[in-house]
Amino acid sequence: MKRKMLSALLIASTFLSMTACGSNQGNGADAKKDSGSENASSELTDGKFADTRHITVEVYDRGNDGGSDPTNNAWTDYIKKGMLEKHNVEVEFVKVPRWTEVEEINNLLASGTAPDICVTYDYATIQTYADMGGVIDLSSQVMDKENLPNLWNWLGETNITYDQDPETQKIWAVEAKLANLNRINTFIRKDWLDKLNLKEPTTKEEFYKVICAFRDNADKLLGKNADKMVPYSVSFDVGWRAATLIESCLDPKMTDKESYINGFDDRKLTQNGTKDAIKLLNKWYNEDLLWKDFALYAAGDSTEDDMMKAGYVGAFSHNWDYPYRNGEDSIEANLERNVGKEAEYIAIDPFEDKDGTHTKWVSAPIDRKVFFPSTNKEVLASLLYLDFISDPETIEYLQIGDEGVTHKTLDNGAVQIQATTDNTIQNSSLNIDYTITCNGLNLKDKDKTALSLAYSYSGIKPELVERADKVAKTDNRPGVSVKVGAISAESGMGEALSSKRDQIYDTSVSAAADKFDSTWESGVKDYLGAGGQAIMDERTSAWKKVYGDSDSVSK
């Protein structure tokens, strides 16, 4: 919290200094004048600037072992060449650590050194700096459909105006599009099930019995490494990792209104039913069924992945395709090398809700938020970058690369990704760190996309991916767009409340059984008192103002 206050003070002083010096970078209207966006047609000839422009673009640094330099590789070369040839715009990439991206973006915005094009998953950060004049309002510039045809064809009005304030009409960010809404799956060692003659679990009770069997047969399953047995693993980010378990304890028919009012926290901390799921995890923790040290290792740490690769973890919940990512360094590839060809993680769907289905709350088709800080003097050039990145040709090339180098075409027409060891290595799955308006396989041919999904993981059996995709799509409930405008109580609270949320989850899961209720209740009380309740109250008022007594956005 102290760091956030310092950042806020720093950015405020930065803007005061800029104003005193007569700078015209401090608001959206002036930024448009700098970029020439008001007269875009006169700025461009056949889509190109007469004079070369220069922009900086954020790219995540994932710190992958053996990965390529995220700011200088074959993929960045492709983008730089394309932007220079098509628009006469030079592109420079600026790396930001993926696992501390919110903190880093805060610091860059506060110091006035943020890239021209910024990307974050945290809209609250954008709103905070927008309220201080630190973000450009794109509501007029982004409507330039003539010069931004690819951006509009790909994102459409839904994603471009998703965050538009219904009263002021301001747009602080455009939402990237999820080509695949899959979110979280639970994976289990099929070879361990076979070795213990166990069926794949389909309910919470069956899952519990299976992980108990893993624990009780550690000697048989791991031999001399029995003491390293982890029957079921979650990380410090319990709300994300255990999402499908949490969602199984919610009302599958929850109204849009209830979901929204309690939904500032996307890890569902304040939703009705979440406590029941965490209490179940607490029971499992105290029965030695969970990784005991899960709360000690923060984002980006490889300890948990290394345990999976070594073969010590029986089951875990994570992103829908997690064990199959990263080619030769994937969890699945390492597991087979370290344990044997028979060792594999398969997706299962064991967490039933009260209706006996497996409702999974997936988001609306939105993903990362792309925004321009007020220090951006090249708004039009930056928008042309988003258009170039949204071109179907660009997306396809960045996702699959060159035939015979990073992929091959199979007899059935499917594209199969191949592992590489040079500067064509993809540091992120399907290069999502460069396709910042697109997350998920999206080839120009939609039938080819569907056919190729299972083959887009180098070295992984297609049937494993097909199964994971099917499980992740079972009983999905997509999110809806609630158009009530900015909630002032949320400004500046994203990082602070997220930190409290993680602490509540971690301490509640690992509490002694007789201390669970008091640990949970005191944590939630602190969360609500620190701003959570104010957000929920303001969301309640905002909902009523727009939707009246209706429980649905469709009224």
Please state whether the predicted TM-score (pTM) of the whole model is above 0.75: yes
State both tokens at 471: 């499980």
pLDDT number for residue 327: 85
CA distance 241 to 97: 21
Q: What are the structural domains of the chain?
A: 25-179+365-479 (3.40.190.10), 184-362 (3.40.190.10)
β-partners of residue 347 are: 187
State both tokens at 41: 């047609």
pLDDT 10s digits, 384-406: 999 999 999 999 999 999 999 99
pLDDT number for residue 30: 43
- Residue 39 pLDDT level (bands cut at 50, 70, 90): low
CA distance 319 to 342: 23
Are 78 and 118 spatial neighbours (Cβ–Cβ below 8 Å)?
A: no
Average pLDDT in the chain: 91
Q: What is the mean pLDDT of the segment spanning 300-314?
A: 96
- CA 533-166-489 angle, to 5 degrees, is 20
Reported residue count of the chain is 555
pLDDT 10s digits, 124-142: 889 999 999 999 999 999 9
pLDDT number for residue 412: 92
Are 441 and 180 spatial neighbours (Cβ–Cβ below 8 Å)?
A: yes
pLDDT 10s digits, 324-343: 998 889 999 999 999 999 99
Question: Would you call 12 exposed, middle or buried from its count of C-beta atoms within 10 A (0-12, 13-18, 19+)?
Answer: middle
pLDDT at residue 231 greater than cutoff 90: yes
CA distance 62 to 325: 13
pLDDT at residue 41 greater than cutoff 90: no
Q: What is the mean pLDDT of the segment spanning 81-87?
A: 98
- Three-class DSSP labels, 104-145: HHHHHHHHCCCCCEEEECCHHHHHHHHHCCCECCCCCHHHCC
| Cα separation of the two ends of the chain | 39
pLDDT number for residue 555: 65
pLDDT at residue 31 greater than cutoff 90: no
Are 324 and 222 spatial neighbours (Cβ–Cβ below 8 Å)?
A: no
pLDDT number for residue 40: 54
Lowest-confidence range among 268-272, 310-314, 364-368? Answer: 364-368
The residue with greater pLDDT, 275 or 420, is 275
Q: What is the mean pLDDT of the segment spanning 373-388?
A: 98
How far is residue 214 from each of residues 185, 187, 209, 306, 314, measured CA to CA in Å? 19, 14, 9, 19, 7
pLDDT number for residue 15: 45
pLDDT 10s digits, 129-188: 999 999 999 999 999 999 999 999 999 999 999 999 988 999 999 999 999 999 999 999
Backbone phi, psi, residue 274, to 5°: -60, -40
- Residue 495 pLDDT level (bands cut at 50, 70, 90): confident
CA distance 542 to 4: 26
Write the DSSP assignment of 41-107 as a string of letters: HHHEETTEESS-EEEEEEEEE---TT---TTSSHHHHHHHHHHHHHH-EEEEEEEEEGGGHHHHHHH
pLDDT 10s digits, 234-271: 999 999 999 999 999 999 999 999 999 999 988 999 99
Q: What is the mean pLDDT of the segment spanning 223-234?
A: 98
Nearest to 183 by CA among 271, 267, 255, 120: 267
Q: What is the mean pLDDT of the segment spanning 473-480?
A: 92
pLDDT at residue 34 greater than cutoff 80: no
State both tokens at 13: 């002083």
Share of the chain above pLDDT 70, in %: 92
pLDDT number for residue 492: 85
pLDDT number for residue 4: 41
Helix and strand numbers (H, E) in the chain are 23, 16
β-partners of residue 91 are: 55
pLDDT at residue 2 greater than cutoff 50: no
CA distance 15 to 132: 8
